Amino acid sequence: MEYLILGLLLLAPMTGYELQRFIKQNLALICSSSAGSVQTALTKLEKEGRIAAAETVEGRRRKKTFSITPAGRQAFAAWVARPMQAGKVKNMELARLFFLGLAQPAQRAAAIRDYIRQMEETQAVLAAIREQFRKAQAGPLPPGQNWDEVFRFQGCTIEYGIAAAEFERQWYSGLLKELEEEE
């Protein structure tokens, strides 16, 4: 969560609420969007000197806007430059598939049908995020970033998610078809 927040703050200063809302709307399939996890990460990053907060008052409300510090930029740069690790990507639902032979046949089919439904929902969520992403690309952008490169890899992440959900939907649909033919 900490590096995700650092990356978002590299793009623009944000309040805790804005960070949580952005994560919930755009990155909930990657990580938790709970207020507690965001706040915990913000507290840790501020304590480590990787982010700084500026308080302002709007009407009767106090607003705390976070920005990344040079130490935060350095930590983020080191993290993002590390090679990606395939061993870190886990799908715990594969454990359920592994043991599905121990369930009753009707339970197996129901579990797979529900997973297919979830993959369809995931694809729909990601398609909506892709549309929001395209609108953001067209909008006014703050200076200081190579937005073409930023958007390139953000777009790749969205397309990967859509393709992965489609693969899983098709693969589980094939398995469901096999099970139904066996009945």
Residue 89 has pLDDT above 70, yes or no: no
Question: Which residues, 6 or more positions from 42, have their beta carbon under 8 angstroms from its beta carbon?
Answer: 5, 16, 19, 51, 66
- pTM reported for the whole predicted model: 0.72
Q: Report pLDDT for 91.
A: 74
What's residue 88's pLDDT?
A: 67
- Is the per-residue pLDDT at 32 higher than 70? no
The pLDDT value given to residue 23: 84
Residue 66 pLDDT greater than 90, yes or no: yes
Sheet arrangement for strand 61-68:
14-15, 61-68, 51-58
Chain mean pLDDT for the chain: 87
Distance of CA 119 to the CA centre of its chain: 15
- pLDDT at 31 exceeding the cut of 90: no
